[in-house]
């Protein structure tokens, strides 16, 4: 049973005054995250900024003793209300535990604190010829702790894997303040249960990641971006299948549908062909000497698959320009109405065309404006729906459409979250996509790690 009135005075004995916020305006800011369907039901009672593992442990012991919820926070960019404080309590913000402790060039690993910004880690390792591929599109702000907790992916997941594939070892503070290590400083580890993967995607509900050892790989020597138009997303997906069957493995295979193309063009005027119903953006990488070979063959396949308007970059500036349209699609859709909501449903690649077509007709039925973008390689679709959340009818239409989109996804053998997670936003849908016994076991796991339910309560499922 969580306490109603939170006794946070004792925190002042653990932390220096500048590392604890209790003012109403300050608490308001940390109650919200990038989710915009609703606001957190309550404010946290305090926001704390630990500077060390020992401080995290002391705060957790205090919270455990007084039954106070703890909501961890990286950059607060998750889209599913995973940082909401509906039960009040303590927001534990990791912006002061943001150091890259070590980069080991020989073993190709990095030891990082949870508040390290992903883009910062990427640029530091890339300067050493190394590569950390996980790439949530907002990598300039999102943190490694948040990416681990949400099992974040991104455009490069198809070839290189997501955050989960780069976790070798975690130091995790448990709900009683004790600390465990989940792995080892080795590439392989078959020693007991894989506890590390249990914390990946657990949204801060099982433990608090205070240090991570991540795997790095050699940075590809060169890359190039190709773009091609198609008459439908289905045709674009078919051409991707042919590219893969011919044993080419691009690092990204992203698409925009016709609405996304038209919307970007309307607001940013970057020269996209609005007559076409799909744009495929393919990035290839590898040794410099392999790039021409990959590009020429992929363009041959694209031509044979009915593509038109094929272009490719010859320098970094041109590569950025090709990506500009895809990156601008969320911002462009946001200009259509006061609000924009996105999702991250996923099906097998062979069902991608059906999913995109189905989402369009569902949104048409409910009179909603939708731009669809996504990662063809993964079968991962991001419908970006523009609406006015203050318009009750429109919001109700959105909720009905969302239900139908999930139903369609499941009927195609897919699942409702590929990379954004569940948080509070999607938890009512979990029983529709995961069998009851599996959910029961998830709840049992939660109770083992957090018997008092103080770690991010009310996320993923209600106990």
Ligand X SMILES: Cc1cc2nc3c(=O)[nH]c(=O)nc-3n(C[C@H](O)[C@H](O)[C@H](O)COP(=O)(O)OP(=O)(O)OC[C@H]3O[C@@H](n4cnc5c(N)ncnc54)[C@H](O)[C@@H]3O)c2cc1C
Instruction: List interacting residues with ligand X (CB under 6 A).
Output: 33-34, 71-79, 82-83, 94, 114, 136-138, 142-143, 145-147, 149-150, 152-154, 203-204, 208-209, 330, 419-420, 456
Contact residues for 230 (Cβ-Cβ < 8 A; gap 6+): 236, 239, 276, 277, 278, 279, 280, 305, 306, 307, 308
SS3 249: coil
Cα four-point dihedral sign 58, 453, 198, 93: negative
Nearer to ligand X, 125 or 172 (CB): 172
Nearer to ligand X, 34 or 346 (CB): 34
CB of 454 to ligand X, least distance (A): 13
Kindly report the length of the chain: 463
Query: Both tokens of residue 430?
Result: 């979990």
Residue closest to 97 by CA, chosen among 257, 208, 201, 9: 208
Alpha helices per DSSP H over 340-461: 352-365, 392-411, 430-433, 436-449
Contact residues for 277 (Cβ-Cβ < 8 A; gap 6+): 230, 231, 232, 233, 257, 258
CB of 161 to ligand X, least distance (A): 12
Nearer to ligand X, 72 or 130 (CB): 72
Are 214 and 171 in contact by the 8 Å Cβ rule? The answer is no
Nearer to ligand X, 92 or 225 (CB): 92
CB of 294 to ligand X, least distance (A): 24
Are 332 and 342 in contact by the 8 Å Cβ rule? The answer is no
CA dihedral 192, 70, 79, 339 (to 10 degrees): 170
Host H or E run for residue 73: strand 70-73
Rounded to 10 deg, the angle between the 352-365 and 392-411 helix axes is 160
Are 332 and 354 in contact by the 8 Å Cβ rule? The answer is no
Q: Are β-strands 167-173 and 345-346 bridged in parallel, bridged antiparallel, or unpaired?
A: unpaired
308: β partners: 229
> Residue 420 burial (CB < 10 Å; 0-12/13-18/19+)?
buried
Q: What is the residue whose two structure tokens read 């990959």?
A: 294
Nearer to ligand X, 210 or 240 (CB): 210
CB of 288 to ligand X, least distance (A): 28
The values of phi and psi at residue 234, to 5°, are -60, -45
The separation between the first and the last C-alpha atoms of the chain, rounded to the nearest angstrom, is: 11
The values of phi and psi at residue 402, to 5°, are -60, -45
- Cα diameter, the chain: 70
């Amino acid at each position: 049973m969580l306490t109603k009135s939170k006794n946070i005075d004792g925190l002042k004995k653990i932390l220096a005054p500048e590392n604890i916020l209790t003012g109403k305006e300050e608490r308001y800011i940390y109650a919200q995250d990038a989710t915009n369907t609703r606001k957190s039901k309550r404010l946290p009672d305090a926001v704390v900024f630990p500077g060390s593992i020992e401080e995290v442990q002391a705060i957790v012991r205090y919270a455990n003793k007084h039954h106070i919820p703890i909501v961890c926070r990286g950059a607060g960019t998750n889209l599913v209300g995973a940082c909401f404080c509906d039960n009040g309590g303590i927001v534990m913000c990791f912006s002061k535990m943001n150091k890259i402790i070590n980069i080991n060039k020989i073993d190709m690993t990095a030891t990082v604190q949870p508040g390290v910004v992903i883009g910062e880690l990427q640029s530091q390792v890339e300067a050493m010829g190394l590569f950390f591929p996980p790439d949530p599109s907002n990598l300039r702000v999102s943190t490694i702790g948040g990416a681990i907790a949400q099992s974040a992916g991104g455009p490069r997941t198809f070839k290189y894997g997501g955050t989960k594939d780069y976790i070798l070892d975690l130091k995790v503070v448990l709900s009683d303040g004790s600390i465990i290590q989940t792995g080892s400083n080795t590439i392989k580890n078959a020693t007991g249960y894989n506890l590390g993967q249990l914390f990946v995607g657990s949204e801060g509900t099982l433990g608090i990641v205070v240090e991570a050892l991540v795997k790095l790989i050699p940075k590809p020597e060169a890359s190039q971006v190709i773009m091609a138009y198609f008459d439908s997303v289905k045709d674009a997906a078919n051409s991707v299948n042919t590219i893969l069957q011919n044993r080419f493995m691009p690092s990204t295979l992203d698409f925009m549908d016709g609405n996304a193309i038209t919307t970007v063009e309307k607001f940013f005027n970057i020269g996209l062909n609005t007559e076409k119903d799909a744009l495929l953006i393919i990035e290839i990488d590898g040794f410099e000497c392999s790039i021409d070979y990959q590009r020429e063959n992929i363009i041959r396949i694209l031509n044979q698959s009915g593509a038109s308007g094929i272009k490719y970059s010859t320098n970094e500036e041109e590569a950025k320009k090709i990506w500009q349209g895809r990156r601008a699609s969320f911002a462009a859709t946001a200009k259509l109405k006061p609000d924009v909501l996105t999702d991250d449903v996923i099906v097998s690649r062979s069902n991608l065309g059906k999913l995109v077509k189905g989402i369009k007709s569902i949104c048409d039925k409910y009179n909603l404006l939708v731009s669809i973008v996504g990662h063809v390689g993964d079968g991962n679709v991001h419908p970006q729906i523009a609406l006015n959340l203050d318009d009750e009818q429109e919001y109700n239409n959105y909720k009905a459409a969302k239900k139908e989109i999930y139903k369609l996804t499941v009927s195609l053998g897919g699942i409702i979250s590929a990379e954004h997670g569940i948080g509070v936003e999607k938890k009512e849908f979990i029983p529709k996509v995961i069998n009851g016994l599996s959910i029961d076991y998830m709840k049992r796991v939660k109770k083992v790690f957090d018997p008092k339910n103080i770690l991010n309560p009310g996320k993923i499922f209600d106990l």
